[in-house]
Amino acid sequence: MTVSSLAKGQLVTVFGGSGFLGRYVVQTLARRGYRVRVAVRRPDLAQHLQPLGTVGQIHAVQANLRFPESVRAAVQGAVAVVNLVGILQEGGRQTFTALQTTGAETVAREAASAGARMIHVSAIGADAQSPGQYGRTKAEGESRVLAVSPEAVILRPSIIFGPGDSFFNRFASLARIFPVLPIAAAETRFQPVFAGDVAEAVARAVDNAVEGGRIYELGGPSVYSFRELLQYVLTVTERRRLIAAMPPFLARIQASVTETLDKLTFGLLPDEIVLTRDQLVMLERDNVVSPEADSEGRDLEGLGITPTTLEAVVPGYLKRFRKHGQYEKRPTAA
């Protein structure tokens, strides 16, 4: 019996499915034949997902991780529950603790009560000893998920790339505007992973083809420094810009200033220029698959997935940032 025939008609609930990674996860599950219930705070902002499946296959419902009753209603009848909810910056009642710790526990508890498989997407930066609140709350969320759902699958991706990502598109936008790109932690190492590969890992966990009770670290085939990634963006977009590595004290000043200004303007500053102090803390730590995960098969290759190179995907969606655009004929030399 094929995977699609096993999945046909079965319901999967995806929390946070309207975001960047969520689109890939929803589409991958729909192609397998699952019915997908997308649980989000604003269902009206998730209508763009419906064309990713057949008529009636994908349906958005209202749910908020801060309200257990809404979570309980969203998981009813599901064979698996996927939690993609996470934030990089706090705002109002949307805090790291509320969403990434308490919220993750709420989803796992309701999934366990409904008898559904639990798949929780965290981040490689999760660390109970992290000096940053983002990393600590991610790690605490993982612990609470496993406490209430011991067979849950935890997936920790590195920075995720693909059309619509917030990393490569962000710096390509900045390079289009500024002649100098000041960056903090220029030598920090990253292992970018394709969103489609992460979605495939999620789908295999939903298929019950991934051993539960373990934490998997997902990274691409190559490791790059922050500086190398920015230089790659400049190469693809055919722009000459100076990459200026900031000393730590200057980076902390920049983070304090942009974070304060963003709060004073009620979040009106463009996301591309905002760097918070917590984000700076995370940026200063390597974001790569650990040797232990690699040797124990707790990575993409261990899940039977061949990692996609960023060179195979990124140029396709960064071409639009070139000076003459993606389709405009570029001037030739005389």
Task: Report the C-alpha gap between 155 and 200 in whole angstroms.
Answer: 11
Q: Which domains does the chain have, with CATH numbers?
A: 3-162+191-221+286-307 (3.40.50.720)
For residues 15 and 40, give the distance between their C-alpha atoms in angstroms, rounded to a whole number: 6
* pTM (2 d.p.): 0.92
Q: In this predicted structure, what is the pLDDT of residue 274?
A: 81
Separation between Cα atoms, residue 119 and residue 135, nearest integer Å: 19
CA distance 217 to 121: 10
What pLDDT does residue 240 have? 93
- Round to whole Å and give the CA distance between 217 and 292: 10
Give me the residue label for tokens 């939690």. Answer: 83
Under 8 Å CB-to-CB from 203, ≥6 apart: which residues?
25, 28, 29, 32
What does the pLDDT read at residue 272? 76
Tokens of 107: 């989803």
One digit per residue, the tens of pLDDT, for the chain of length 334 reads: 344 545 668 999 999 999 999 999 999 999 999 999 999 999 998 999 999 999 999 999 999 999 999 999 999 999 999 999 999 888 888 899 999 999 999 999 999 999 999 999 999 999 999 999 999 999 999 999 999 999 999 999 999 999 999 999 999 999 999 999 999 999 999 999 999 999 999 999 999 999 999 999 999 999 999 999 999 999 999 999 999 999 888 888 988 888 888 887 767 777 777 888 888 888 889 999 999 999 999 999 999 999 999 999 999 999 999 987 766 565 555 4
